[in-house]
Amino acid sequence: MSRSCRRRLVFGLIAAGAVLLLLGQVAWVGVAIGAGYQAKILCSGLFVSGLDQETIEEQDLAPTSILERILLRGRFSVDVENRAVEVTAWGIRRVARLRPDLGSYLEFEDAPTPSIHLPLTRSRPSADRSRLPWPRGDADLTEADRVDAREAFDLQALRRAVDSMFEKSDPPCTRALLITHEGRLIHERYAPGIDPSTPLPGWSISKSVIALLLGILVRQEGVDLKEAPVLEEWSDEEDPRRAIHLDHLLRMSSGLKFGESYADPRSDTLRMLFGSPSAAAVALKSPPRHPPDEVWQYSSGTTNLLCLFLRRRLKEKDRYLTFPREELFEPIGADSAILEVDQSGGFVGSSFMYASARDFARLGQLCLDDGTWQGNRLLPEGWMRYCTTPTKGAPRGEYGAHFWLNAGNPGDPADRYFRTLPDDVFFMSGYRGQYVLMLPTERLVLVRLGTSANGLDIEAFVRSVLDSLAKSKK
């Protein structure tokens, strides 16, 4: 063998070794993230949603790709007494535990777990309230609701639209579907094992809820959205992040670099959610990439920076942890709602909120009514107008302040997120097809919660609901 051939062989072996090493590192990280994902989702499914383990494994943890089939192969051990789940995969162990009324969190042995001893027990609906119709209570549909439904909708067409959402894709694609009109509950349907009180994951719907909490803080304390620096870590005169203010974060236009990927186990998002005891700590490491307000980039890390701002603004720990419940959930009767915290005690507002379909609809109704609830103002006047004003740089005018929009391209209004739906539609949206859609002109709120988005055409469903509304008027 010639010297040049030997040299090429050596370089080839070195390159092959480097590739194998890289693949090994990626695989190890992927297994660790996968084990964390399984432990967290199973723990919340069991002890927050109250579902059985077989259902969670078959639906929530079902792999959707070849890579997931390799990585999501953990062995589960459930400790019902201590409300904990242990997952072991390829020798890697991850544990998730429940904090009552704060959801489940992943436990990392090399990180402290703060003790939380607070009066966190949520109030429960009274017997009288349980007999009140939605939204004030959770009684079944009243005769007035049925009359309103018959007068407003072609009920046969409406039921066909709803039924289609449970028939499409791999069942059970849809777990809960709910429609309200003019503040009345018109129709709801649930998959087997789910009922009107079952808390289900909203995933990134949580982001919009953080915007509502910030709105409440603005009303209560006069927080300035142009306040800068937002965080003390950005206070250095030479730090370009000093120019970032709350409006930039709410509009996902901070200019911070953050990898929003669910396919790459090394991504910032997956490390933040399933590889760290503190979601905010991962997000805080995001370096500046663009000047603020120049580039729009969807980023889950951004929302957890807002959670960190809330935590520091609400300095007393008990006020921070009870703030969502006392200032938002309880006032609107969303008794099932839980915004989960990580091991450090910080809300993971980007992704981890659970609530029933009825309670997600309550949040939608609050938004539809410009932040008022039964005559009581919770959000500042005009807050929802702010949240639904398109952000500069967001394609097709599709994003406001932590809310998705259907505003359309200013130069071509027909070029919008949902081409066949009205341009005033705005919505909360989450992974695997979670939706809370608000249609202001028609005074509709639609909620869809499920375990898969495969084959889901939410636009066609909403269009069918609108068609059933129109047919009743002919």
Q: How far apart are CA 178 and CA 220, in angstroms?
A: 32
Neighbouring C-beta atoms of residue 305, cutoff 10 Å: 26
Contact indicator for 397, 416 with CB cutoff of 8 Å: yes
Partners of residue 94 on adjacent β-strands: 87
Partners of residue 437 on adjacent β-strands: 427, 446
Phi, psi of 200 (to 5 degrees): -125, 155
The H or E element spanning position 16 is helix 3-44
- Whole-Å CA distances, 409 to 29, 220, 255, 375, 398: 40, 35, 22, 35, 8
341 CB-contact burial (10 Å; exposed 0-12 / middle 13-18 / buried 19+): buried
Annotate 427-456 with DSSP letters as a single string.
EEEETTTEEEEEETTTTEEEEEEES--TT-
Q: Which residue has the tokens 């004003």?
A: 389
Contact indicator for 70, 89 with CB cutoff of 8 Å: no
User: Given this model, what pLDDT does residue 63 score?
Assistant: 79
Q: How far apart are CA 455 and CA 461, in angstroms?
A: 12
Contact indicator for 272, 344 with CB cutoff of 8 Å: no
Q: pTM score > 0.85 for this model?
A: yes
Q: How far apart are CA 324 and CA 197, in angstroms?
A: 19
User: Given this model, what pLDDT does residue 67 score?
Assistant: 60
60 CB-contact burial (10 Å; exposed 0-12 / middle 13-18 / buried 19+): buried
User: Given this model, what pLDDT does residue 150 score?
Assistant: 78
User: Given this model, what pLDDT does residue 22 score?
Assistant: 38
- Whole-Å CA distances, 258 to 285, 302, 342: 9, 8, 19
First vs last Cα of the chain: how many Å apart? 87
Phi, psi of 250 (to 5 degrees): -60, -30
Give the single-character DSSP code of 29. H
Distance of CA 125 to the CA centre of its chain: 25
Q: At what angle do helices 205-221 and 300-313 cross, to 10 degrees?
A: 30
Partners of residue 404 on adjacent β-strands: 399, 427
Q: How far apart are CA 453 and CA 460, in angstroms?
A: 14
Contact indicator for 251, 299 with CB cutoff of 8 Å: no
Tens digits of pLDDT across the chain (474 residues): 565 665 555 454 444 443 333 334 445 578 899 999 999 999 999 999 999 999 999 999 987 765 666 667 789 999 999 999 999 998 899 999 999 889 999 999 988 888 775 555 555 555 567 788 899 898 877 666 776 777 889 999 999 999 999 986 666 689 999 999 999 999 999 999 999 999 999 999 999 999 999 999 999 999 999 989 999 999 999 999 999 999 999 999 999 999 998 878 889 999 999 999 999 999 999 999 999 999 999 999 999 999 999 999 998 777 899 999 999 999 999 999 999 999 999 999 999 999 999 999 999 999 999 999 999 999 999 999 999 999 999 999 999 999 999 999 988 989 999 999 999 999 999 999 999 999 999 999 999 999 987 778 999 999 999 999 977 666
